[in-house]
Structure 1
């Protein structure tokens, strides 16, 4: 199989296909009725998320440099400790979700599967394929900001499904700020896997907490608490990026000072 050179145009083309699979699959599965993300996450395995994750994995695996794309383990392995702040927030959110009360066990399993698929799919698409495509043309800082901006813009599309455009815009801004931190950690660790774990825990905590809340969703404080975690994570990501220059990640992750 011929290896792909992930240029910016190729990465954007892959993103277009990924969007069709993600949203097209969900719309075909659930119809055109409006529904929340939590309802979609707990209503059955998302075909769109599964197809999009598989597609992103194929594109990333076809890259000529899997280390550059972030498919290998953190290098050096001790750089994985840089994930401590977003992981701390994700664990705290998981504890809050547990305190809210879990939904039914069957629903919880479905939510776990779907949030794992979403985390894998989005990290492969945005922090592996798209970020590497932008790095092929732009310096690190512009590439990180552009990939994070696209990550945020894509989340605005959730307003189409939920019917709540205001909430979708808040989610879009939140996703942009998170994306900066996620991209910084991905570059410093040279791997997407630490953030796949954090991303999955984060989404699982949010969705399970929202599903266990009352129908008016007033019992779950987690979506609001999560917003307060985003800005410190963004600032942490910018702090990590201070050591990054040029068009590629360093050979080994610099130590925190």
Structure 2
């Protein structure tokens, strides 16, 4: 709850009151997201204080990374292709977007694939821990309704985040390291924000958006979700028993 309060409530206070997509992108490209940094610092303090040593902060094995990450990397290419096609932001904006997406990826993976997943895994079956962690990861994104002003769009993003969370935990388990999930989370968000920097400048049409708008976030992440399920079905015995460093 403390992490959620710091990252979400403080973040709401720092952003403009009428924050839409363009304002959020402007906030992330105009300076450090101090609320996200504070959330990461809070997790570091808690990890040190409580002696959490099973959160996956170890170097990934290069073999599994190269063998398993090819498909998720392919799904990133359209974002970066579009970003180059529409034009990249100024260098300073790119720098702040990179720093802030790195902070978001680290903080959220530390919280969900690290702290929460480790806690759930010690108390329930592996698939239950995976499902609950992914659902909670998606549920937090419903809070985007306060920024977007559209509960339906926020709900669609929440479902998409839950689906993405399945891939992220699969990558962590198969490579034995949370850093794999952090890296992919960073690259995914960074690609989206590079595109949004230019496209968010165009106002949305008045009135209700077509249903396809709400389906789009889920359709975009569907291939990664299915791939994550495939990876989870083929978990080695060592990963199932909690030794995530094996493959």
TM-score by structure 1 length? 0.81
Gaps of 5+ in 2: 205-213
Aligned to 1:157: 143
- Partner Cα separation in structure 2 for residue 43 and residue 87 of structure 1: 27
- 1:42 is matched with which residue? 29
1:63-85 CA-partner distances (Å, limit 9, x unpaired): 6463x3110011x4312222222
Number of the residue aligned with 2:6: 21
C-alpha separation in 1, matches of 2:196 and 2:203:
7
Corresponding position of 2:210: none
Q: Deviations over 1:9-33 (max 9, x none)?
A: xxxxxxx111011012212322533
- Work out the CA distance in 2 between the residues paired with 1:35 and 1:126: 26
Match of 2:173 in 1: 187
Q: Quick one: distance in 2 between partners of 1:116 and 1:170?
A: 23
Q: Is 1:211 paired with 2:202?
A: no
Aligned to 1:198: 184
**In the TM superposition, what is the alpha-carbon distance from 1:62 to its structure 2 partner?**
5.1
In structure 2, the partner of 1:135 is: 121
Match runs of 1:1-257 below 5 Å: 16-30=1-15, 32-36=17-21, 37-61=24-48, 64=51, 66=53, 68-74=54-60, 76-81=61-66, 82-213=68-199, 215-216=201-202, 227-244=218-235, 248-249=242-243, 252-253=246-247
Structure 1, residues 150-207: CA drift from partner, whole Å, max 9, x if none?
A: 0000011011122122211111010000001111111111211112111111111111
Number of residues of Structure 1 aligned to a counterpart in Structure 2: 232
Classify 1:205/1:58 alpha carbon distance in 2 versus 1 (closer, same or farther; 3 Å): same
What's the C-alpha RMSD, in Å, of the aligned pairs?
Answer: 2.3
**TM-score of the aligned structures, taking structure 2 as reference length:** 0.84
- Ranges in structure 1 where 5+ consecutive residues have no aligned partner: 1-15
The structural deviation recorded for 1:215 is: 2.4
